[in-house]
Amino acid sequence: MKYLSLVISALALVGVIVLFATKSGNNKQGTHSHTAATATGTTGRIAYVDIDTLEANFTYLKSKREDFQRRQEGMKRELQNSAAQMQRDVQDVQRKAKAGTLTEAEYAAAERRIGQMQQSLQTREAALTEQLLKEQDDFNKDLQTRLDAFLTEYNKDKGYDYILSYSRAGHILYRNKELDITEDVIKGMNERTTDTTTTNKKK
């Protein structure tokens, strides 16, 4: 039997902080500043966020990942318990059939019952998997919305034309660490989450 194997990994963030282009005309010099020339001769100020570091230090993300993992383990246990019960029923029917204590009608009824149990287990597994995948997808969208909102506000006085994502598993082979704004993003995102949580508790 196939069990749930959902793992939140980078939460679809790698490559998602794509080309955060503002072109608002607000190009004040920030702490991390760099101007890159393109093939067309135009320039743009660039910064990047280390997704691996963000993932490891963003408290809201860590909390949600732990919650998903706990619920995933609970779903696994539920399915395993149901499968174990079905196996015990199969073994019981087999023992009775071997001992000759089952009539043909009783054996046929037992077969139908076990078949229904198996179908029910498969349906339950599919439902749980679909539910968790949907919740994970909803969370990914919420996370992206939070990140977009923070970067929009953060960039108002930074004037970056592009804020890119970096991951050790990605396609960028080298980065200038002077362009790294990850610490700012982690600090700001954590503060926003704390403020939101405090506000919700007061309501």
DSSP state letter for 169: T
Which H or E run contains 46? Answer: strand 43-50
169 burial type by CB count under 10 A (0-12 exposed, 13-18 middle, 19+ buried) = exposed
Strand order of the β-sheet with 162-166 is 35-37, 43-50, 162-166
Q: Are 189 and 148 in contact (CB under 8 A)?
A: no
Of the given ranges (38-52, 58-72, 123-137, 143-157), which has the lowest mean pLDDT? 38-52
Taking 60 as the threshold, does the pLDDT of residue 37 lie above it? no
Encode 130-139: b = buried (16+ Cβ within 10 Å), e = exposed: eebeeebeeb
C-alpha–C-alpha distance, residues 57 and 90, integer Å: 49
Q: What's residue 1's pLDDT?
A: 41
Q: How many residues does the chain have?
A: 203
Cross-strand pairs, 47: 163
DSSP string, 71-108: HHHHHHHHHHHHHHHHHHHHHHHHHHHHHT-S-HHHHH
Of the given ranges (36-40, 114-118, 149-153, 171-175), which has the lowest mean pLDDT? 36-40
Tell me what the mean pLDDT of segment 91-102 comes to: 93
Residues 6+ apart with CB under 8 A from 34: 45, 46, 47, 176, 178, 179
Taking 70 as the threshold, does the pLDDT of residue 191 lie above it? yes
Of the given ranges (23-32, 61-70, 85-94, 100-109), which has the lowest mean pLDDT? 23-32
